[in-house]
Structure 1
């Protein structure tokens, strides 16, 4: 079976929903293609700072588009959301805190655009269940081709 991220995002872009709205909030709308681009960029930046499948990341980002992008970036790499992880993505706009370093959200997106992360062919054992349990609304809405309505 294809990876979770491929089924909830990439498949929709490939099969005609690229211009459909994936997220709508007070800042406007983000299409499935834009969401794929942003999440792949952030995943590429995560990879460039050493995150790989199984890396634990505390995600302390308020509801909104940045949370959705961060969760989908994690799914591209197999990064595991963990409340007490040493790596932490927090705030609005989010900042990645790692070993005393801080990387802003804008820098993550810019850095990742040069080498975005593709969707993996499949997920590590148990990963899909973990992500669906942690973020059920994100994955169920996108898998159905729906639109996530967020507010900041």
Structure 2
């Protein structure tokens, strides 16, 4: 079976839903194509700073488009949301904190555009369940081709 992120995002874009609304929040809307572009960019930046499959990342981001993009970026590389991780994505706008650096959200998006991360072909055993349990509303809405209403 194809990976979770491929099924809830990439497949929708490939099969004609690219212009459909994926996210709606107080700042406006984002299409499935825009969400794919942003999440792949952030995932590429995560990879460039050493986040890989299985890496724990604490996500403390307010409900909104940044949370959805961050969750999908983690899923693209197989990183794991973990409350006590050394790597932390926190704040509004989010900042990635590690023991030796801080990277702003804008820098993550722009840096990742150079080498966006593709969706994995498959997920490791148990990964889909972990992500669905951590972020049920995001994955249920996107899997159904619906809009995530991400108002804070």
> Normalization by structure 1: what TM-score?
0.99
* 1:69-108 equivalence runs, <5 A: 69-108=69-108
Residue 129 of structure 1: SS of its match in structure 2? helix
The aligned counterpart of 2:137 is: 137
1: CA distance between counterparts of 2:150 and 2:137?
Answer: 11
The aligned counterpart of 1:21 is: 21
The aligned counterpart of 1:48 is: 48
Q: Which runs of 5+ in 2 are unaligned?
A: none
The aligned counterpart of 2:39 is: 39
Residue 57 of structure 1: SS of its match in structure 2? strand
Residue 110 of structure 1: SS of its match in structure 2? helix
Q: In angstroms, what is the RMSD of aligned CA positions?
A: 0.6
The aligned counterpart of 1:124 is: 124
2: CA distance between counterparts of 1:100 and 1:13?
Answer: 37
Residue 53 of structure 1: SS of its match in structure 2? coil
Residue 8 of structure 1: SS of its match in structure 2? helix
> Normalization by structure 2: what TM-score?
0.99
2: CA distance between counterparts of 1:117 and 1:91?
Answer: 23
The aligned counterpart of 2:8 is: 8
Please report how far the alpha carbon of residue 100 of structure 1 lies from its aligned counterpart in structure 2 after TM superposition: 3.0
Residue 103 of structure 2: SS of its match in structure 1? strand
Q: Which runs of 5+ in 1 are unaligned?
A: none
Would you say how many aligned residue pairs link Structure 1 and Structure 2? 152
1: CA distance between counterparts of 2:125 and 2:46?
Answer: 21
